[in-house]
Structure 1
Amino acid sequence: MAKSALLKSSLAKKYWMALTGLFLCLFLAGHLAGNLQLIFSDALHFNQYALFMTTNPAVKLLSYLTYISILFHAIDGIMLTVQNRAARPIGYAKNNAAANSAWASRNMAVLGTLILVFIVTHMVNFWAVMHFDEKMPLQTISIDMQGQKQDFYLTTDGGYIPVGQVNDNGLVIKNRTEFFDGMANIKVKEGYKDLHKITVAFFQDPQTGLIATILYVLAMAVLSFHLLHGFASAFQTMGVNNPTYSPIIKGFGKGFAIIVPLLFAIIPIYIHFFLKA
């Protein structure tokens, strides 16, 4: 009975919304730090980050926790919205909602739904490609060899493998990243999936790149409005309502809600308009 109440009561749902929301804020900060390498670093460092994020056991565990939190946060939000509307099926005769609450707080369900749509499409375009696309390219680099350009695969041990050696001279690629001696069937080296190339191509595509950039920026604007209400509301739900700390939390929340989405939005703008492919 207690367990059922913990999951079904309105108060419990608000607690779960707060906890998952704050955890997802931590995820946003970490994800932003990694993605900013698209601006402030090079392809190799970004691909090293992508490899770490998809192979490190602790990070993979956190990733699963993130997926669960997103689903729980979305479902919990829908249930709360339905529950609140069911509790008040008939609107007030005079309703001046704008005078009593911020626009974002009145439209959290709509904002959250738009963000969920963005997350799904974002994962299809990048996460799914990184994990499942058999045609995911490996990172290569062109080096001038006595006046002639030669392409090499970069390997995780800091080495190079001439592209021409693969297949033609006994080396084969297995598991999409591993170089094997075809004769002895022994793993020789491992390469980097080129997520940097995939990302740049996505936002620089001549036909769809500009549209993708605009939609990404709009999604970050939606995220900003969602965070403007959600961040401070989460702490309030958790009972942090102190005259000393509440203004600090609200101020930090507003800064977080503006700066984090803004930095995310700058990344595709930089790639589309300023990065040389």
Structure 2
Amino acid sequence: MAAIDGFNTLQYLSLLSKVCAELESHTGTADKVLAEFIIHLARSSDNLHHFIDKLKDNDAHFPDYLVRTLFTLVHAVLIPAKTESETREEYSGSSSWKPLKKRISSPEKREAKQFTATGNLSSPDDDDEGDGLLHQEKGPWCSENFVQSRSLRRVQDVRKQLLTIMDRYKLDVASAGNNFTKVTKAIAAGFFFHAARKDPQEGYRTMVNNQSVYIHPSSALFQRQPDWVIYHELVMTTKEYMREVTAIDPKWLVELAPRFFKAADPTKTSKRKRQERIQPLHGL
């Protein structure tokens, strides 16, 4: 089998698929050209720090944990091309690898306590933890609130990356205090492509492709079921579930993404559509 830059074809395609999956999971896009560029940078880097420097030189800003994951993925298969039979065996093993996402611990006998703890962590309109939690990584607090310190360290990692980017571009860092609307609008500005509206029948419909989706049972909004939401990612199990959900005002979509959404014409829409008042500009 022909080799591609030191990989055999099957290895390269497998790696490209994994890098695209990581990018889509963490950035919302699976750009093949970007994935190939990242693979090139990682392969030409002697170590992680060298890889980070190359990303910065190309004005590419990713969270530290994502950078480490991408570098590890590339170098895990950075070996001389093997025979086709050897490659089949290697591929069968690598294809079974899946990134594990540790979640909040939930012993059955402590379900009621867990429900109370989850309520203490959340804004009433989203699944994100408050900034005050960033300084309580260890000790009994994590155990009592069913939170893993590793998850909080990841939050700190992302926050540090964002602060670095803001400092690079001379942006002011100011707290919104208890004004969660500002925070939620900022999230909506970045994830407007992941907007979904409540379906009168059941679940939700995504605004982009009218896909049927549902709020995940672990979400703080599962019982509330707000009319409009923004989600971070979709997880397919028995249904297509939205994870990391935030309630939004649909008017924000027109305000924050006017090239993608517009206010619906009340004279040309059904009664239900008039209640929604916005529609995507398909074809952009």
Q: TM-score, normalised by structure 2?
A: 0.24
Higher helix share: 1
Higher Cα radius of gyration: 1
